[in-house]
Structure 1
Amino acid sequence: MIPWENLDTASIPGDGGTLRLRRRGTEFSIMLGQNELMNSRLSGSEEALATLACGRIASRKAPQVLIGGLGMGFTLRAALGTLPPGAAVTVAELVPAVAAWARGPLAGVFSGILDDPRVSLREIDVARAIAERPAAWDAILLDVDNGPDGLTRASNDRLYDAAGLGAARAALRPGGILAVWSAGPDRSFSRRLHDAGLSVEEVSTRANGRKGGARHVIWLGVRSGRG
């Protein structure tokens, strides 16, 4: 078996630990400690995050989408494939090295999607991006942890608590969608979404799409009203 090769490391701001980019043949992996955050062979649930949310707003005129976390670009690619030509997609990525990997060792995985004219990549905390533009987004997609807790950074908890969900709701246009990816279920999070004033749908999806794999969860929280 081909051994894993460590390509690079990157510190997560705010004492969030160290990310490791690894390669084994044509396969790539991003690790945080012993936790694998993403793998280039498993993209189904990240793609579902985008298609489930963006499919519901694709008929809007010039929809505005915020994606929290660049990762390996699977969510971004699926969003671009779902959204119309007039859409605008902002990706908030906190770790500069992750953005650099996208144009370096992971360039083959990204296949030029960052050059799509609809895309804007910002090196910013997604919580700040949410707070700075009220009622601006048709969809906010969060894939910055392994679920609604601060695995990569303890401060990410604020994205998922009552205040954070309230801020996300305020940042959505009427009828806008907050979509959150998770490695597993969390009943208390569904309640928090509801308490934040969002209608909630919980969707089970597979890590590798139709090919199977582990079951992941996507929450869709919709702000009432028409966009």
Structure 2
Amino acid sequence: MKPWTQLDAAAIPGGGTLKLMRRGEDEFSITLGHNELMNSRLKGSEEALASLAIDRIGPRPGLRMLIGGLGMGFTLRAALAALPADAEIVVAELIPAVIAWARGPLASIFAGCLDDPRVTLREADVVAAIREGPSRYDAILLDVDNGPDGLMVESNDRLYDHSGLGAAKAALRSGGVLAVWSAGPDRSFTQRLRQASFAVEEKTVRARAGAGGAKHMIWLAAPQANGAATRPFQPVPRRRR
């Protein structure tokens, strides 16, 4: 098996170092310590984060989406493939090196999607983007850190605590959805979503679409009126391709 080669490294807020690794010509990995955060051959769950959220809210004119975390661009590319020309996608990425990698060593993976006129890429904390004002987004997609039980930046916890969930709920338009990616299940996070008056659906998805691999978790959370009883989503009919 071919060895991994380190292409670059970047310090992250609060300590720790992200490393961009390559094996062979076309396999890339981003690691933190001994943990692999993402791999260019394992994109199924990141793509599902976008497709499940878009299926949930359905077609609507002028749809506006916020993606927290650029990663290797798989969620962004899946969203662009599914959304019409009048949609707008704001991507908030906290770490400058991740943006530089997207336009440099990982450019072939991104395939020009950052130049799509529907995309606005911001070097910013997604917490700030969420708190900019009420009813700004039809969908908020969070693929930040390792999920609610984070590894990278301690301040990411602000996204997933009661205050963060309240801010996300306020930032969503009527009929909107909060979609959250995680490396695994988290029963306490599901409970926090319900306590924040979201109706919650949990989806188990594979890291490698259609080919097995690790199981990841995606929460689809729809705001409910204050005081309304939360209930599970009704299943969404599968769209014909």
Question: Any residues of structure 2 matched to 1:205-224 within 5 Å, and which?
Answer: 205-224=205-224
| Equivalent position of 2:19 in the other structure | 20
The total of aligned residue pairs comes to: 224
Contact 1:65/1:138 (<8 A) preserved:
yes
Q: Which has the larger radius of gyration?
A: 2
In structure 1, the gaps of 5 or more residues are: none
Q: CA deviation at 1:16?
A: 4.1
| Equivalent position of 1:180 in the other structure | 180
Question: Any residues of structure 2 matched to 1:101-116 within 5 Å, and which?
Answer: 101-116=101-116
Cα deviations by residue, 1:14-60 (Å, 9 ceiling, x for unpaired) = x1421000000110000011110100000000000000002233411
* TM-score of the aligned structures, taking structure 1 as reference length: 0.96
Mapped to 2, the partners of 1:57 and 1:121 lie a distance apart of 23
1:224–1:85: structure 2 CA closer, same or farther, 3 Å change rule? farther
| Equivalent position of 1:163 in the other structure | 163
Q: Which amino acid aligns with 2:83?
A: L
SS in 2 for 1:46: helix
Mapped to 2, the partners of 1:38 and 1:133 lie a distance apart of 31
| Equivalent position of 2:59 in the other structure | 59
Cα deviations by residue, 1:152-203 (Å, 9 ceiling, x for unpaired) = 1111111111111011101111111000001111111111101111110000
In structure 2, the gaps of 5 or more residues are: 226-241
| Equivalent position of 1:70 in the other structure | 70
Structure 1 stretches of 4+ moved >4 Å: none
Cα deviations by residue, 1:123-157 (Å, 9 ceiling, x for unpaired) = 00001110112210000000011121231111111
SS in 2 for 1:80: helix
Mapped to 1, the partners of 2:92 and 2:55 lie a distance apart of 21
Mapped to 1, the partners of 2:141 and 2:203 lie a distance apart of 14
Kindly, what percent of the aligned residue pairs are identical?
67
Contact 1:179/1:221 (<8 A) preserved:
yes
| Equivalent position of 2:47 in the other structure | 47
Mapped to 2, the partners of 1:17 and 1:91 lie a distance apart of 23
* TM-score of the aligned structures, taking structure 2 as reference length: 0.91
Contact 1:58/1:84 (<8 A) preserved:
no
SS in 2 for 1:146: coil
Q: Which amino acid aligns with 1:76?
A: L
Question: Any residues of structure 2 matched to 1:96-175 within 5 Å, and which?
Answer: 96-175=96-175
1:176–1:16: structure 2 CA closer, same or farther, 3 Å change rule? farther
Q: Which amino acid aligns with 1:100?
A: A
| Equivalent position of 2:11 in the other structure | 11
Mapped to 1, the partners of 2:149 and 2:127 lie a distance apart of 14
Cα deviations by residue, 1:193-226 (Å, 9 ceiling, x for unpaired) = 011111100001000011110111000001247x
Mapped to 2, the partners of 1:88 and 1:191 lie a distance apart of 31
Mapped to 2, the partners of 1:152 and 1:183 lie a distance apart of 13
Choose 143-152 or 73-82, whichever is displaced more.
Answer: 143-152
SS in 1 for 2:57: coil
SS in 2 for 1:218: strand
| Equivalent position of 1:34 in the other structure | 34
Mapped to 2, the partners of 1:21 and 1:134 lie a distance apart of 36
Instruction: Note the aligned Cα RMSD (angstroms).
Output: 1.0
